[in-house]
Amino acid sequence: MSESFTIERPLLRPLPDDRFETGRVFHPHVNRHSLVCVRMNYYSVPVRLVGRKVRVLLHASELVIFDGKTEVARHERLIARGKPRLRLDHYLEILLRKPGALAGSTALEQARQLGTFTTVHDAWWAAVRKAHGEAEGTRALIEVLLLHRGMAHRHVVDGIATALPVGALTSDVVAIEARKAAHAETGMASATTSSPTGPVGQPAALPPLPSLTERRLAALPPDSRPLPSVAAYDQLLRFRPPATGQGDTP
């Protein structure tokens, strides 16, 4: 057998670069609740896709949802029928306009069960609601949850945990602290994989972390307007009314 394979091997063609797809394809419509129905179960997608048709690849343990060629959602496959699988991130734009719907939502309950909405989130939410009221406090929490789209989950949680004890109850402060956590983690990783430039036994100094304001200003286009001047107001000095009253000099 091995001798036959040795003779046949040079004649075999290489395997294709593209992975052979084994999933079953569906093309459901997204209903008004931002859900698609696949095999009698419901799965959430981003709310911007309501009313559109999407493509679903159903595998043995998960399903992947595409809008065109772009992956928009990935869920663990449900076995029991008639159950929903929701992701809180898919509804954040709606909840910004209707913050009162968050507290009792199924998406929030499932996020707690999965551990993506942690006790740190809950503690920060309680503090910000106490400080700013139910609606504004919940909107601030949703702004924090939106940070997860561009940052690692652990970094955002670290940012919340750092901001909470000092009473920093704004999403901007959480974003800054989350970026600091990410920056520190990157610096520690680079210090352990490369030779340090500082004294022996000490890691290399990290570059300064730019502030959130500096990052925003760097993205603005150059300002070509001339500098403001108050020279035009000098002409008002020529028209001062004459002084009147007792004791005035003529």
Q: What does the pLDDT profile of the chain (250 residues) look like in tens digits?
A: 788 888 898 888 887 777 777 889 999 999 999 999 999 999 999 999 999 999 999 999 999 999 999 999 999 999 888 889 999 999 999 999 999 999 999 999 999 999 999 999 999 999 999 999 999 999 999 999 999 999 999 999 999 999 999 898 999 999 999 999 999 888 766 656 555 554 444 555 555 555 556 666 676 777 788 888 888 777 777 666 666 655 554 4
DSSP 112-180: HHHTSS-HHHHHHHHHHHHHH-HHHHHHHHHHHHHGGGTS-HHHHHHHHHHHTTTT--SHHHHHHHHHH
Q: What is the Cα–Cα distance from 190 to 204, expressed in whole angstroms?
A: 9
Q: What is the Cα–Cα distance from 142 to 94, expressed in whole angstroms?
A: 10
- 3-state DSSP helix/strand/coil percent for the chain, to nearest 5? 45, 15, 40
Q: Are strands 70-76 and 24-26 parallel, antiparallel or unpaired?
A: unpaired
**Full-model pTM:** 0.68
Total number of residues shown for the chain: 250
Q: What is the Cα–Cα distance from 108 to 24, expressed in whole angstroms?
A: 30
- Give burial (CB, 10 Å; 0-12/13-18/19+) of 207: exposed
Q: Which of 23, 127, 126, 119 is nearest to 75 (CA)?
A: 23
pLDDT at residue number 123? 96
Strands of 55-58's sheet in order across: 24-26, 55-58, 62-67, 70-76
Q: What is the Cα–Cα distance from 209 to 175, expressed in whole angstroms?
A: 13
pLDDT at residue number 96? 93
pLDDT at residue number 194? 55
pLDDT at residue number 250? 45
pLDDT at residue number 4? 87
Q: Are 62 and 74 contacting, i.e. CB atoms less than 8 angstroms apart? A: yes
Q: Are 157 and 120 contacting, i.e. CB atoms less than 8 angstroms apart? A: yes
Q: Which of 50, 58, 51, 52 is nearest to 26 (CA)?
A: 58
Q: What is the Cα–Cα distance from 107 to 133, expressed in whole angstroms?
A: 22
